[in-house]
Homo-oligomer: A and B are copies of this chain.
């Protein structure tokens, strides 16, 4: 590997001069600087990120925290998309992305210690149990963090607009003439709570009564549980005319159940998903769903984290709401026509 020392020898100047020339510091003569730069290029010089990090105390490296157990984090298209845009934006701004986990080799450590150990300048936290004490410890530490889809006090977070999304969905369905809407929701998380609250509020705003039995629990990303919930809804004396699913993928469970009972979408039952993943756009009938703008979320998360890293003085915690948009498919029947 070619180092500063090699270049300094080749050029007949000191290491300090080479360093300053390559970093564009003002106190090197233009001629010398150009010469040094050309030699560096010729020799194929590459700064050593490790040495730099050691000296500067900042690694230009951010950590990313995803759940590891069920691996449902990465395989969920929503998160995969977020991760991807996060990575692209971080790299654009000169930062690399490293995974953070609990254990590393023989050492068992928590997230905070792992991030410290790797000298991460900051960490993006997504798709984890936000009640986990280890997560809380990391968030409350001096390391800059940005959380996704969950807000901590006095920390920056990027939130998908679940309230607005749910509202738009209900409005859309209402305008299509539906008055009996069922909602199969995911497991109890802050996202679910927001969607539920927004659902109730929107229904109330349209003067729709929501029978208790129209609200069914299921799991995210789990067609089986959504299928069961669908079956229960279909067995009700007074069936809903439209069913909201926890997410697009879970809807597949409902789709199967409806088909099995000989019901067709949307003629016998209207359905709506959530997420707007690719699958929702290729199913027939095309699924009406609310697209979460994962690309923007990842990009903003990276940008906000790096902003915080580079300007700690002027930093203030922010809650950024990323709005999505309704994708109208053919899965909601227009009851007024």
A50 to B48 Cα, complex, angstroms = 11
> What 1/0 mask marks residues of chain A from 243 to 260 whose CB sits below 8 Å from any chain B CB?
000000100110110011
Interface positions of A from 83 to 107, Cβ below 8 Å from B: 83-85, 87-88, 91-99, 101, 103-107
Q: List the B residue with the shortest CB-CB distance to A112.
A: B46
A58 to B262 Cα, complex, angstroms = 62
**Surface stretch bound by B, among A158-166, A168-176, A193-201, A275-283:** A275-283
Query: Chain B residues near A88 (CB, 8 Å)?
Result: 68
Tell me whether A149 is interfacial, beta carbon within 8 Å.
Answer: no
Query: Chain B residues near A53 (CB, 8 Å)?
Result: 50
Nearest CB of chain B from residue A293's CB, rounded to whole Å:
14
Nearest CB of chain B from residue A83's CB, rounded to whole Å:
6
Q: List the B residue with the shortest CB-CB distance to A250.
A: B282
Residue contact A253 to B282, C-beta cutoff 8 Å: yes
Query: Chain B residues near A83 (CB, 8 Å)?
Result: 74
Residue contact A98 to B46, C-beta cutoff 8 Å: no
Tell me whether A335 is interfacial, beta carbon within 8 Å.
Answer: no
Residue contact B50 to A68, C-beta cutoff 8 Å: no
Tell me whether A216 is interfacial, beta carbon within 8 Å.
Answer: no
A255 to B84 Cα, complex, angstroms = 29
Query: Chain B residues near A106 (CB, 8 Å)?
Result: 94
Nearest CB of chain B from residue A257's CB, rounded to whole Å:
9
Query: Chain B residues near A119 (CB, 8 Å)?
Result: 48-50
Contact of A91 among B74, B105, B223 (CB under 8 A): B105
Query: Chain B residues near A85 (CB, 8 Å)?
Result: 71
Tell me whether A1 is interfacial, beta carbon within 8 Å.
Answer: yes
Contact of A74 among B80, B101, B223 (CB under 8 A): B80
Residue contact B46 to A50, C-beta cutoff 8 Å: no
Tell me whether A75 is interfacial, beta carbon within 8 Å.
Answer: yes
Residue contact B91 to A282, C-beta cutoff 8 Å: no
Tell me whether A47 is interfacial, beta carbon within 8 Å.
Answer: yes
Q: List the B residue with the shortest CB-CB distance to A85.
A: B71
Residue contact A92 to B99, C-beta cutoff 8 Å: no
Query: Chain B residues near A48 (CB, 8 Å)?
Result: 54, 117, 119
Nearest CB of chain B from residue A206's CB, rounded to whole Å:
33
Residue picked from A51, A54, A96, A255, most chain B C-beta under 10 Å: A96
> What 1/0 mask marks residues of chain A from 56 to 86 whose CB sits below 8 Å from any chain B CB?
0001110000001001011101001101110
Contact of A93 among B47, B92, B105, B283 (CB under 8 A): B105
Known pairs A74-B84, A94-B104, A223-B282 / 11 extra A-B pairs, C-beta < 8 Å: A46-B109, A46-B113, A50-B53, A51-B54, A54-B54, A71-B85, A73-B84, A75-B80, A96-B104, A97-B99, A252-B279
| Chain A interface residues (CB < 8 Å from chain B) | 1, 46-51, 53-54, 59-61, 68, 71, 73-75, 77, 80-81, 83-85, 87-88, 91-99, 101, 103-107, 109, 113, 116-119, 223-224, 249, 252-253, 255-256, 259-260, 278-279, 282-284
27 pairs, A vs B, C-beta closer than 8 Å:
A1-B116, A46-B109, A48-B54, A48-B119, A60-B105, A68-B84, A68-B87, A71-B80, A73-B84, A75-B77, A75-B80, A75-B81, A80-B80, A87-B99, A91-B99, A91-B103, A92-B103, A92-B105, A93-B105, A94-B105, A97-B98, A97-B99, A98-B98, A98-B99, A252-B279, A256-B282, A256-B284
